[in-house]
Amino acid sequence: MRAHWMAHELGLDYEPKLIGSRTGETQTDAFRALNPKGKIPVLEDDKFVLTESVAIVTYLGDTYGKDSGLIPVSNTVERARYNEWCAFIQMELDAHTLYVLRKHRDLAVQYGEAPAAVTTAIEGFRTQVQVADDALKETNYLVGDRFTAADIIMTTTLKWAIAYEVALTPRLIEYTDFHAARPAYLTAGRLTFSISSGA
């Protein structure tokens, strides 16, 4: 969703190849030749192959959206702030917390039950997401006063939290709804829905 959303924000003419997680499609020889991690998303740009959602989003903006403002210019305070938010979201709101919850509650059949880890993950998410709530009290933007890819990464993560029934503050729900109304989000959502819904 992150990569498709960014591609649509940039108006890129690209070929989406929808691959479902846990369908076995990420484990084929052909797919693992592209990404030995066996995970989506993967970007193929001519002969260049790139994995990791934040790396893909940042590459697309740096390469094809220099004037879009979606990725702050290198060597600026705004770029440092963008990097800071992306690292924070991936690690503190995703890998340590929501992903633990996902694996050990919703996907416990595959990954094993771990109730204490699930409780700690929810508490950890709530503590860390408060930082975003404070930062977004009087603005809809994480970096500067405009929409950047940091808001793509944050919005998709908060959408995840909502889908996993982790309570968010009214302000964070408002922020999420605000960005999820963007045409590029809606187009990317329609594109990926058939995969995420298992259809």
Ligand X SMILES: N[C@@H](CCC(=O)N[C@@H](CS)C(=O)NCC(=O)O)C(=O)O
Binding site for ligand X (CB under 6 A): 21-22, 26, 38-41, 52-53
DSSP 155: H
Q: How many residues in the chain?
A: 199
CB of 36 to ligand X, least distance (A): 12
Q: How far is the CB of 170 from ligand X (least distance, A)?
A: 27
Residue closer to ligand X, measured from CB, 103 or 126: 103
Supply angle C-alpha 137, 142, 148, rounded to 5: 140
Q: Is 40 helix (H, G, I), strand (E, B) or coil?
A: coil
Pick from 71, 31, 70: nearest CA to 51 = 31
Question: From the CB of 193, what's the least distance to ligand X, in Å?
Answer: 14
The residue (of 20 and 65) whose beta carbon lies closer to ligand X is 20
Q: Which is nearer to ligand X, 163 or 186 (CB)?
A: 163
In the complex, minimum distance from the CB of residue 69 to ligand X, in angstroms, rounded to a whole number: 23
d(CA 151, CA 168): 16
Report d(CA 119, CA 152) in Å as an integer.
27
| Nearer of residues 21 and 139 to ligand X, judged by Cβ | 21
| Least gap, CB of 111 to ligand X (angstroms) | 11
User: Which residue's CB is nearer to ligand X, number 75 or number 110?
Assistant: 110
- Cis amide linkage into residue 72, ω under 30° from 0: no
Nearest approach, Cβ of residue 62 and ligand X (Å): 17
Q: Which is nearer to ligand X, 157 or 176 (CB)?
A: 157
Cα(27)–Cα(33) distance, rounded to whole angstroms?
10
Nearest to 63 by CA among 155, 152, 149, 177: 149
